[in-house]
Amino acid sequence: MSKQATKRELPERSEEDKRAFKRELTEVVPHLRAFARGLCGRPDMADDLVQEALLKAWAAQDRFEPGTSMRAWTFVILRNAYLTDMRRNRFRGEYDEGVAERILTAPAGQEEPIHLSDLHRALLTLPPERREALLLVGAGGFSYEEAANICGCAVGTIKSRVGRARAALSSMIQDGDIPDRSIGDPAAHRAILQELDEVAAGRGEAAASSK
């Protein structure tokens, strides 16, 4: 029992509602995969995470309000699953260079100033709360307000996180200096876990996060 303000009667779902839920959930899967890939870097882990989130979303479908954004709602679920898993598994910012190289190739004929795989690696060196903020706003196209809702924090906080993330990436890319967030570095490892705790403390409440 945390917040009674959000407690209210859930309307009975019609068959039509259920079909619509399923349809919308299906449509949003590619977005969940893209968000998860950005969060955790490894495609296999990302897909596992999405499957977990889909199951949770399905189980919690009565709490989805028809007409609201399925993408935002499921992103909250995905994000919370990510935080939970990463803390449980003692996430170490693993990054599968080979796989990323294969998957993140720029489309032919479009020469990028930097390789997408470098960009992705740089992204993965960011603290998780900045990474997710940048992913939501910069890649997912969410507004600051939507991103703040998803992360369960103030709009100003999101703006600041995105700003810091952008500055960090810009400087890494400008200097051509994209550090590995090393698994073997205990200090970095501890820092990541600490960050995860802080991020988790601000987890969004807009969705099925309590169970």
Partner 1 sequence: MVPPKEDKQVATPARKAETCDTGEPDWTSGLKRLYDSVLDEPLPDSFKDLLSKLDQNGAK
Residue closer to partner 1 (CB basis): 126 or 200: 126
Neighbours of 203 (CB within 10 A): 19
Interface pick for partner 1 out of 77, 86, 135, 150 (rule CB under 8 A): 135
Query: Residue 205 CA to chain centroid, in angstroms?
Result: 15
Instruction: State yes or no: residue 138 binds partner 1 (CB under 8 A).
Output: yes
Least Å distance, CB 209 to partner 1, is: 20
Helix (H) or strand (E) run with residue 45 in it: helix 43-59
Q: Considering only residues 167-196, where is the footprint of partner 1 by CB under 8 A?
A: 169-170, 173-174
Could you tell me if 203 and 152 are in contact, meaning their C-beta atoms sit under 8 angstroms apart? yes
The CA distances from residue 192 to 65, 125, 174, 210, in Å, are 34, 10, 24, 23
| Shortest reach from residue 5's CB to partner 1, in Å | 30
Measured CA to CA, the distance from residue 74 to residue 3 in angstroms comes to 21
| Binding residue for partner 1, selected from 20, 60, 99, 104, defined by CB under 8 A | 104
For the chain, state the CA radius of gyration.
Answer: 18
**Residues interacting with partner 1, by CB under 8 A?**
18, 22, 25-26, 29-31, 33-35, 37-38, 47, 50-51, 54-55, 58, 103-104, 106-107, 111-114, 116, 119-120, 123, 134-135, 138-141, 166, 169-170, 173-174
